Amino acid sequence: MDRQIINRTIQSYIREVEQSIHEPITYRDLEKSTLDEAKAFFLLLPLLNGEKWSVSLNTSALAVGAVHAAFDIHDKVDILEATSKEQQLMVLAGDYFSGVHYRLLASIPDFKFITAMSEAIGRINETKTDVMMENMASPHALISAMMCIESGCITEFHHRYGFAKYTEISRIALSLIWLFKIATKDPTVQNGWRSNNIKSTDVDTAISILTTTLHEELMSANFLNPFLKQEIHKMATPLLGKTI
């Protein structure tokens, strides 16, 4: 296992997702929507760690990617002034991508996973609304919200297909990645719902809590390839420069 293999696997998966959601008019009028590589990494973490990966499993993974593409493009819309042609197209494109995942799942068929994903999407949308409309009561409330939003669908995938041991690391790491982006004022998370009602002190405290928790989880994850542990640490704690 090395970085080159990881990159090839992730980029191959992202291309498959993009092909599954490709719609000529959408790509004509909007920039190409590339799936977040961190989410792809943690979704595929069992595969990268040598777990068996079937065709039907891959179809389910593509469906999860389509859901995240829908979320990402919806998040780019200015919620206060979604009036421009581009913003309206983003809304429609996000809705279109949302429909793609149901088509992909229907081809399996795995009704339990379809139900679980539908429920997860509902929870994520509700949590986004809470973050947007209310102040987070504490760093722990912020952590809980980010774990739901950033990894809810991936968690359902892992649990459904026997990869539950990867869930906690994925939840912690994806939340940390998002929080570090907020802390460093990354423009990709500074607009729209993502930065509303979030206190910088809560972000700093949440980062501290999750950094410690991730370190503990990685130290005890004997099932995980040591190289993957190092990659997760570098990805999720970019400003710390520590090694496992």
Q: How many CB atoms lie within 10 A of CB 204?
A: 14
Query: Which pTM does this prediction carry?
Result: 0.85
The residue with greater pLDDT, 75 or 81, is 75
Q: Could you read off the pLDDT of 44-60 as tens digits, one per residue?
A: 999 999 999 999 899 89
Largest CA distance in the chain: 51
Residue 31's pLDDT band (cuts 50, 70, 90): low
Evaluate if residue 74 carries a pLDDT over 50. yes
Type of residue at 213: T
Where are the domains positioned within the chain? 3-236
**Per CATH, the architecture of 3-236 is what?**
Orthogonal Bundle (1.10)
Please state, in angstroms and as integers, the Cα–Cα distance from residue 184 to each residue in 54, 200, 224, following that order.
39, 11, 29
Residue 80's pLDDT band (cuts 50, 70, 90): very low
Phi, psi angles (nearest 5°) of residue 37: -65, -35
Evaluate if residue 194 carries a pLDDT over 50. yes
Share of residues in the chain with pLDDT > 70 (%): 74
Share of residues in the chain with pLDDT > 90 (%): 47
pLDDT of residue 25: 47
Evaluate if residue 238 carries a pLDDT over 80. yes
- 35: three-class secondary structure by DSSP: coil
Q: Could you read off the pLDDT of 197-231 as tens digits, one per residue?
A: 688 899 999 999 999 999 999 999 999 999 999 99
